Amino acid sequence: MVLEGSSEALCPPPSLELRPSCNKSQSSPPLSTSSQPHDGVFPEDKEPVKYGELIVLGHNGSLANGDKGRRRSRLALYKRPKANGVKPDVIHNVSTPLVSKALSNKSQHSISYTLSRSHSVIVEYTHDTNTDMFQIGRSTESMIDFVVTDTAGSGSSQGGGAAGEGGGGGQSAQSTISRYACRIMCERSAPYTARIYAAGFDSSKNIFLGERAAKWRTSDGLMDGLTTNGVLVMHPAGEFVSEPAPGVWREISVCGNVFALRETRSAQQRGKLVENESNTLQDGSLIDLCGATLLWRTPAGLRHTPTLKQLESLRQELNAARPQCPVGFNTLAFPSLAQREIVDKKQPWVYVNCGHVHGYHNWGYRKEKGPAGPGGTAPASTGERECPMCRRVGPYVPLWLGCEGGLYLDAGPPTHAFCPCGHVCSEKTVVGWSQIPLPHGTHAFHAACPFCGTWLTGEQGHIKLIFQGPVD
CATH code at 291? 2.60.200.20
Q: Is residue 55 part of a domain?
A: yes
Alpha-carbon gap, residue 78 to 185, rounded angstroms:
12
- pLDDT score of 415: 94
The more confidently predicted of residues 211 and 30 is 211
Pair (232, 352) in one structural domain: no
- Count CB atoms within 10 A of the CB of residue 210: 11
Pair (282, 389) in one structural domain: no
Pair (335, 442) in one structural domain: yes
Q: Is the dihedral of CA 421, 405, 245, 134 positive or negative?
A: negative
Alpha-carbon gap, residue 314 to 306, rounded angstroms:
9
Indicate the pLDDT class of residue 470, thresholds 50, 70 and 90. low
Pair (277, 334) in one structural domain: no
Pair (282, 341) in one structural domain: no
Residue 33 scores a pLDDT above 90: no
Q: What is the CATH number of the domain that holds 384?
A: 3.30.40
Q: Is residue 249 part of a domain?
A: yes
Q: What is the DSSP string of 71-131?
A: BSSEEEEE--SS--EEEEEEEEEE-GGGHHHHT--TTSEEEEEEEETTEEEEEEEEEETTE
Pair (393, 297) in one structural domain: no
**Mean pLDDT for the stretch of residues 174-191:** 91
Domain ends where: 253, 282, 303? Answer: 303
Q: Is residue 247 part of a domain?
A: yes
Q: What is the DSSP string of 324-369?
A: B-TTT-PBP-PPPTT--SSPPTT--EEETTT-BEE---S--B--S-
Q: Is residue 443 part of a domain?
A: yes
The more confidently predicted of residues 115 and 438 is 438
Structural domain including 141 reads 50-86+126-149+177-303
Domain ends where: 282, 303, 324? Answer: 303
Pair (362, 396) in one structural domain: yes
Pair (318, 294) in one structural domain: no
The more confidently predicted of residues 43 and 464 is 464
Residue 29 scores a pLDDT above 90: no
Pair (245, 201) in one structural domain: yes
- pLDDT score of 333: 87
User: What contacts 459, CB < 8 A, 6 or more positions away?
Assistant: none
Looking at every residue in the chain, the average pLDDT score rounds to 79
Q: Is residue 12 part of a domain?
A: no
Pair (296, 435) in one structural domain: no
Pair (294, 337) in one structural domain: no
What are φ and ψ of residue 300, in 5° steps? -65, -40
Pair (350, 259) in one structural domain: no
Q: Is residue 350 part of a domain?
A: yes
Q: Is residue 80 part of a domain?
A: yes
- pLDDT score of 367: 57
Select from 189, 251, 236, 180 the least CA-distant residue to 35.
180
Number of domains in the chain: 2
The DSSP bridge partners found for residue 208 are 112
Over its C-alpha atoms, the chain yields an Rg (Å, rounded) of: 25
Domain ends where: 303, 328, 352? Answer: 303
Select from 64, 84, 80 the least CA-distant residue to 72.
64
Q: Is residue 159 part of a domain?
A: no
